[in-house]
Amino acid sequence: MLNGSENEFGFGGAIHQRRTALRLSLAEVARRAGCAKSYLSAIENGVKGAPGEELSSRLERVLSFREGELVEMSMWSRTPASVRADVEAMRAREAARDAAGREIAALLKEDLDGVHKSGKLAALIEVYEGKEKTPSDRCAATSPASAGEEKGYGVERVGLPVEVPLINKVTAGYPGSFTDLGYPARVADEYIRAPDVHDPDAFAARVVGDSMEPLYREGDIVVFSPSKVVESGMDCFVRLEPDSETTFKRVYFESGDDGAEMIRIQPINNAYGAMVVGRELVAGLYAGVSVTRVI
């Protein structure tokens, strides 16, 4: 069962509170967990939702959470609202049952005849046995879905296909400017289906340019997953500081002569040269997880 931190702080608030308590910087936690500093900051600030199970598990270890705690919080945050309502209703019934049991035990020490005549004992027994509806149950009973079920309409809950927002284009050439057109997170004019992607913060972009040919062509739609750990040799959406320029390239993690962390941004097309930049100049790295070619 979730502890109080989920209700009080949410996922981002919980990791922010623990990180500051441990006196760890965003950059240090991001480095240890294997994610971008900008992505971790967006999670803490509530701009991004909770990450997937893999990154949540790594954050647990880095921030010394109880094993499974952040994973459970992450899964809970992505649980459909209808399911969460059912779970909360069940918890409310359990809490009411426990409270009724304590009151019954106290009443049994009093004048049983008087308690029985007042009707209080009978009412508590109904709650304890689950016969009395809690406020959550009464609300659920008057909801449109419940009304349809009572009338025999055969209301069925079905899952929607997984879709990710197609937010803009990404240059597969020299880095260029990028904008998300001012849309809030997960909102766009166009969406594409990505049934094998389970990251709630995944997004898609159209390829512009030819620096990633022959694997990727202009017009291809690539889906990127912020929760996927970026490893050397992956094809990534790269966001560069200080002007928020972006590009789509293969990235390699290297070290400079002085031991500083460097990232080589490498095209696949040999007609283009590689860029090598300091790690601090890379605001975001998001791994490509699928590609769709429009013919």
User: For 164-200, what is each residue's pLDDT tens digit?
Assistant: 888 765 555 444 444 443 434 455 567 888 878 888 8
**Which range marks the domain in which residue 87 is found?**
81-150
105 vs 290, more confident: 290
Q: 10 Å Cβ neighbour count for 156? A: 8
Looking at the fold, whether 68 and 97 belong to one and the same domain comes out as: no
Residue recorded with tokens 């009724």:
100
Q: Which two tokens stand for residue 271?
A: 């007609």
230 vs 107, more confident: 230
Which of these, 284, 276, 281, 286, lies nearest to 229 by C-alpha position?
Answer: 286
Looking at the fold, whether 126 and 213 belong to one and the same domain comes out as: no
Looking at the fold, whether 175 and 271 belong to one and the same domain comes out as: yes
Specify if 256 maps to a domain. Answer: yes
Residue 132, pLDDT > 70, answer no
Mean pLDDT of 267-271: 91
pLDDT band at 72 (very low <50, low <70, confident <90, very high): confident
The pLDDT score that the predictor gives to residue 268 is 92
**What is the spatial order of strands in the sheet that 275-278 belongs to?**
191-193, 163-171, 203-208, 221-225, 282-292, 234-240, 245-255, 261-266, 275-278
H/E segment holding residue 127:
helix 120-128
- CA distance linking residue 253 with residue 236, whole number of Å: 12
243 vs 147, more confident: 243
The pLDDT score that the predictor gives to residue 59 is 93
Looking at the fold, whether 115 and 73 belong to one and the same domain comes out as: no
Mean pLDDT of 134-144: 41
- CA distance linking residue 121 with residue 115, whole number of Å: 6
The pLDDT score that the predictor gives to residue 276 is 93
Looking at the fold, whether 59 and 88 belong to one and the same domain comes out as: no
Specify if 131 maps to a domain. Answer: yes
Looking at the fold, whether 241 and 142 belong to one and the same domain comes out as: no
The pLDDT score that the predictor gives to residue 159 is 37
The pLDDT score that the predictor gives to residue 266 is 94
Kindly state the DSSP code that residue 172 receives in the 8-state scheme: S
Q: Which two tokens stand for residue 199?
A: 């990251």
Domain boundary among 128, 150, 172: 150
Mean pLDDT of 147-168: 49
Residue 251, pLDDT > 90, answer yes
β-bridge partners, 168: 205
Q: Which two tokens stand for residue 173?
A: 């050439």
The pLDDT score that the predictor gives to residue 107 is 65
Looking at the fold, whether 258 and 208 belong to one and the same domain comes out as: yes
The pLDDT score that the predictor gives to residue 78 is 66
Specify if 155 maps to a domain. Answer: no
Residue-averaged pLDDT of the chain: 75
Residue recorded with tokens 């971008």:
36
Residue pair 227/199 in contact by the 8 Å Cβ criterion: yes
Name, of 19-28, 162-171, 198-207, the range with top average pLDDT: 19-28
243 vs 26, more confident: 26
Contact residues for 53 (Cβ-Cβ < 8 A; gap 6+): 71, 74, 75
Angle CA 35–198–176, to nearest 5: 55
Q: Which two tokens stand for residue 279?
A: 């790690």
When computed from its CA atoms, the radius of gyration of the chain, rounded to whole angstroms, is 26
85 vs 248, more confident: 248
Residue 20 maps to which CATH number?
1.10.260.40
Residue 73, pLDDT > 70, answer yes
Looking at the fold, whether 70 and 96 belong to one and the same domain comes out as: no
Number of domains present in the structure of the chain: 3
Looking at the fold, whether 38 and 93 belong to one and the same domain comes out as: no
Specify if 141 maps to a domain. Answer: yes
Mean pLDDT of 47-76: 87
Looking at the fold, whether 141 and 51 belong to one and the same domain comes out as: no
- CA distance linking residue 283 with residue 191, whole number of Å: 25
Residue 274 maps to which CATH number?
2.10.109.10
Domain boundary among 55, 77, 99: 77
Looking at the fold, whether 280 and 221 belong to one and the same domain comes out as: yes
Specify if 156 maps to a domain. Answer: no
Specify if 195 maps to a domain. Answer: yes
Specify if 157 maps to a domain. Answer: no
Please, how many CA atoms are within 13 Å of residue 6, restricted to the half-sphere of its CB?
15
Q: Which two tokens stand for residue 29?
A: 């936690």
φ and ψ at residue 152, rounded to 5 degrees: 80, 30
The pLDDT score that the predictor gives to residue 262 is 92
Looking at the fold, whether 124 and 168 belong to one and the same domain comes out as: no
219 vs 117, more confident: 219
Of the given ranges (33-42, 70-79, 219-228), which has the lowest mean pLDDT?
Answer: 70-79
φ and ψ at residue 184, rounded to 5 degrees: -65, 165
Mean pLDDT of 267-272: 91
E strands, 72-124, are none
The percent of the chain in helix, strand and coil, each rounded to the nearest 5, is 40, 20, 40
The pLDDT score that the predictor gives to residue 6 is 39
Domain boundary among 49, 77, 105: 77
